[in-house]
Amino acid sequence: TPVAILLSGRGSNATALIEAARDPAFPARICLVLSNNPDAPGLDMARRAGLPAQAIDHRSFGKNREAHERAIDAALQAAGAEAVCLAGYMRLLTPYLTTAWAGRMLNIHPSLLPSFPGLHTHERALDAGVRLHGCTVHLVTEGMDEGPILGQAAVPVLPDDTADMLAARVLEQEHRLYPLALRHFLTQNPATAANGAALVVA
Ligand code: GRF
């Protein structure tokens, strides 16, 4: 299945997906890496991996978010994408793109949703005193970090954790979870998917 990746920055989750997709047995082939940020290190990484990589700078569309998303959608279509993975894509999506890709767009979020949607999840997890934290792969819907959960991985919060230490522990699991959840998503039988068979990585 041709899958596109949208990112804004570092691209470590994109790297994990690209590496997983190198295995011929993996059900996704990465057909495009797109960024709203022309300077995203993730774009260079994708180019070095020999993949088509393209920037569509949101700043050239002024305040017109939908025009930016129309350009993204056109690029996704042109690349033949059948599903999209958001991997550190730091722009809120409008209903234009969430509707166009409903049921075919995945996101990874660095918390155990529905706890801590939004930003600064690791600081907030420490402040809340939770003992388990982690990451979630979910389908993208209009509400931010709200769609159906496809998979989660949990990590312990340790007594002397800083936000950076916790973030690193979660990130390691993100890199495991995202390829597994994408594979699960692409290969699950729709007839049994209604059972809510989300993936758990322990
Ligand atoms: C990850 O923590 C991801 O969960 C969040 O943004 C970060 C992106 O990191 N949505 P990277 O660009 O994949 O390295």
98-138 per-position pLDDT tens digit: 999 999 999 999 999 999 999 999 999 999 999 999 999 99
Average pLDDT over residues 160-169: 98
Q: Are 36 and 56 in contact (CB under 8 A)?
A: yes
Q: Can you tell me the distance from the alpha carbon of 161 to that of 55, in angstroms, rounded to the nearest whole number? A: 36
Mutate which of 171, 177, 178 for ligand 1 pocket (most atoms within 8 A of beta carbon): 171
Task: With a cut of 80, say whether residue 69 has pLDDT above it.
Answer: yes
Q: Can you tell me the distance from the alpha carbon of 197 to that of 191, in angstroms, rounded to the nearest whole number? A: 11
- For 150, the token pair is 């496809």
Of 109, 133, 175, 184, the catalytic one is 109
How far apart are the CA of 116 and the centre of ligand 1, in A?
A: 15
Q: Can you tell me the distance from the alpha carbon of 104 to that of 64, in angstroms, rounded to the nearest whole number? A: 24
Cβ–ligand 1 distance for 10 under 6 Å, the answer yes
Q: Which has more confidence, 194 or 178? A: 178
Half-sphere exposure in the Cβ direction for 146 (13 Å, CA): 8
User: Nearest to residue 112, comparing CAs of 162, 158, 55, 156?
Assistant: 156
Cβ–ligand 1 distance for 179 under 6 Å, the answer no
Cβ–ligand 1 distance for 9 under 6 Å, the answer yes
pLDDT digits (tens, 9 = 90+) for 5-47: 999 999 999 999 999 999 999 999 999 999 999 999 999 999 9
Distance from chain centroid for Cα 167 = 16
Taking the complete model, does pTM exceed 0.90, yes or no? Answer: yes
Assign 3-state DSSP to the chain and report helix, strand, coil percentages, each to 5: 40, 20, 40
What's the confidence (pLDDT) of residue 190? 58
Pairing of β 132-139 and β 149-156: antiparallel
Q: For this structure, is 120 an active site residue?
A: no
Q: Can you tell me the distance from the alpha carbon of 76 to that of 165, in angstroms, rounded to the nearest whole number? A: 35
Task: With a cut of 60, say whether residue 191 has pLDDT above it.
Answer: no
Question: In this structure, which residue's CA is closest to atom 3 in ligand 1?
Answer: 88
How far apart are the CA of 8 and the centre of ligand 1, in A?
A: 9
DSSP state of 1: -
